[in-house]
Amino acid sequence: MSRFFTGTLSALKPYTPGEQPQDMKYVKLNTNESPYAPSDKAKEIAKEHLRELNLYSDPEGRLVRDKLSEMYGVSADNIVLGNGSDELLFFSFRAFCDEGMPALFPDITYGFYPVFAEINRVPYEEIPLREDLSIDISDYADKKGTVFIANPNAPTGRTLSIGEIEKLAASRPDSVVVIDEAYVDFGAESAVRLTEKYENILVIQTFSKSRSLAGARIGFAIGSRELIADLNTIRYSFNPYNINSMTLAMAYGVLCDEERVRDNCKRIAENRDYTASRLKELGFEVIDSKANFVFVRSEAIDGERLYTGLKEKGVLVRHFTKERIKDYNRITIGTREETDILIDRIRELM
């Protein structure tokens, strides 16, 4: 740290992204990307819609918002785009939390939430998951604060039902409930339709997982006009051109080939079942997942040893050092061929 770094953030511990090593070719099952590249059709459409780069990108992202509006049955005024859903999560902490409105989220969830709270200097409370790593919404009942819930949750893969989300939002009309649906397309139910009835629900989704665009950096939020206007106030106070023209064109292209996206999700869900059953054969405990990853542990091999052993053998998975989950690894669902390599390598290690 330089002596110039602001004292107010001197204790900030930044988020550690999953490794993206370039030293060799790994079977990469550590950052929940899609194993499938965007389709040729999506790329062709993107080319036709790419705006010249001497011009700024459209700060309104009209092309993409109009298409999303059609697809999700909400007005374009109910949608805002972000540079990855991470940016929209950051904006939400900025817009809907402060000294008097803390952030509330599970103790085991997306590791960026506490970092966003810290950088925005917002107090936060981590609410313990149940023993089986599921969320009990009644734990949030008597607490004041803006709630952040990933559904499916990461890294567990467990989901809340839409009924539970509705109950949670209805029970706390004076605070925002942010539902982070980064993994929703792999088998959970979206809360988008609840955003019409509940002005306090904000749904955040991403193009990084089911839509194969992790490298393009784009996500979107859907909520009441007022919530979206608040996020735009933050966005226009920070970076109006937050989505570049290449990304806008590519995102539009991918939205024009939804059939491919649906097929990919189906293939990944099928391979999730296959991966889970192969791991169970090896004696792993596999948490029931609706996401494009599984969260697993085994009494026969320590969590960290599995992670390092697999890395040495060219397979990357994600291990977290937090005490409560240090026995586990989170394994992204790739192709069936990648699963077969993973299983062979685990066998060798065991």
| Contact range with ligand PMP by CB under 6 A, out of 70-78, 79-87, 192-200, 221-229 | 79-87
Q: Verify binding: residue 242, ligand PMP, rule CB under 6 A.
A: no
**For the chain, the helix, strand and coil percentages under 3-state DSSP, each to the nearest 5:** 40, 15, 45
Contact assessment for residue 156 and residue 328, using Cβ atoms and an 8 Å cutoff: no
Say whether residue 250 binds ligand PMP (CB under 6 A): no
Binding to ligand PMP by residue 114, rule CB under 6 A?
A: no
Q: How far is CA 79 from CA 82, 270, 288, 342, in A?
A: 10, 31, 31, 39
Cβ atoms of 260 and 42 within 8 Å: the answer is yes
Residue showing the smallest CB distance to ligand PMP in the complex: 84
Q: What's the chain's length in residues?
A: 350
Structure tokens belonging to residue 236: 């226009």
From the number of C-beta atoms within 10 Å of its C-beta (0-12, 13-18, 19+), residue 104 rates as: buried
Question: Which residue number, 83 or 298, has a Cβ lying nearer to ligand PMP?
Answer: 83
Nearest approach, Cβ of residue 256 and ligand PMP (Å): 20
Q: Applying CB under 6 A, which of residues 85, 264, 329, 332 lies at the interface with ligand PMP? A: 85
Would you count residue 187 as binding ligand PMP (CB under 6 A)? no
User: Which has the closest alpha carbon to 285: 321, 325, 250, 323?
Assistant: 325
Residue 223 binds ligand PMP, judged by CB under 6 A: no
In this chain, which stretch among 50-58, 62-70, 81-89, 295-303 interacts with ligand PMP, using CB under 6 A?
Answer: 81-89
Under DSSP, is residue 193 helix (H, G, I), strand (E, B) or coil? coil
8 Å CB contact between 156 and 136: no
- Between 139 and 168, how does the x/- string for binding to ligand PMP read (CB under 6 A)? -----------x---x--------------
Q: How far is the CB of 142 from ligand PMP (least distance, A)?
A: 26
Nearest approach, Cβ of residue 218 and ligand PMP (Å): 7
- The footprint of ligand PMP (CB under 6 A) covers 84-86, 110, 150, 154, 180, 182, 206, 208, 214, 219
